[in-house]
Amino acid sequence: MKFYFDFISPYAYLAWTQIHALAEAHGRGVEPVPVLFAGLLNHWGHKGPAEIPPKRVYVFKDTLRTAHMLGVPLSPPPTHPFNPLAALRVASLDLETKVRRKLIDALFEATWGGGPGIADPAVVGEIATALGIEDPIERAGEATIKELVKTNTSDAIAAGVFGVPTIVCDGELFWGFDSFRHLERFLDDDDPLPGADELLAKWARVVPSAER
């Protein structure tokens, strides 16, 4: 399963804390794919939740309620929105699977778990270095890594990804942490979509009759 994420999203943080247990229960692996959420927003012409004042408040309340339900710590970062590129690039380095998972854990915790935030590349470097990753910021500044984050984002857009977190499993897209219940049904072969070809075809034929 591909897990498209950006550290800027609290929903991506919550999803990351749960995706591994869900995947392991179904004999699946998780491939984390760092993407730039702002790039998705720009491509699809969306505003981010933090850019809409009442939605910003709602998201904080909603994620706090969800974190409480999950027993996961949640605290706002020092600044938001912030520039996540340094963290996304470091998370894109060529690392062993276990090290990458620990790194993403640590970067999410530094952002949403009451840590110092990751807006400062120096902090990102300290977090990575503490995990034994050598020269993380220097390596993340290489053209190949910068291009990799761009490519990840472009490939995500090509796959129909429009927000984070998004999980793509066997070609099916599941957006948002609240889609996990649908993902679990999909993994359990209990998805209602197979056999609904006629209904889906009807949706495909629906055309707009008004524009805003």
Domains of the chain: 2-205 (3.40.30.10)
- Tell me the average confidence (pLDDT) per consecutive run of 10 residues in the chain, 212 residues long: 98 98 97 98 95 95 97 96 98 97 98 97 98 97 97 98 97 96 96 84 88 85
Strand-pairing partners, residue 113, are 75
- Residue 204 has a pLDDT of 85
The contacts of residue 17 (CB under 8 Å, 6+ apart) are 70, 72, 108
CA distance 77 to 119: 9
Contact 147, 109 (CB under 8 A): no
CA distance 88 to 84: 6
- Residue 130 has a pLDDT of 98
Strand-pairing partners, residue 169, are 172
- Residue 33 has a pLDDT of 98
- Residue 195 has a pLDDT of 81
Length of the chain measured in residues: 212
Contact 33, 3 (CB under 8 A): yes
CA distance 101 to 30: 10
- Residue 85 has a pLDDT of 98
CA distance 103 to 166: 19
Contact 130, 142 (CB under 8 A): no
Which two tokens mark 119?
Answer: 């807006």
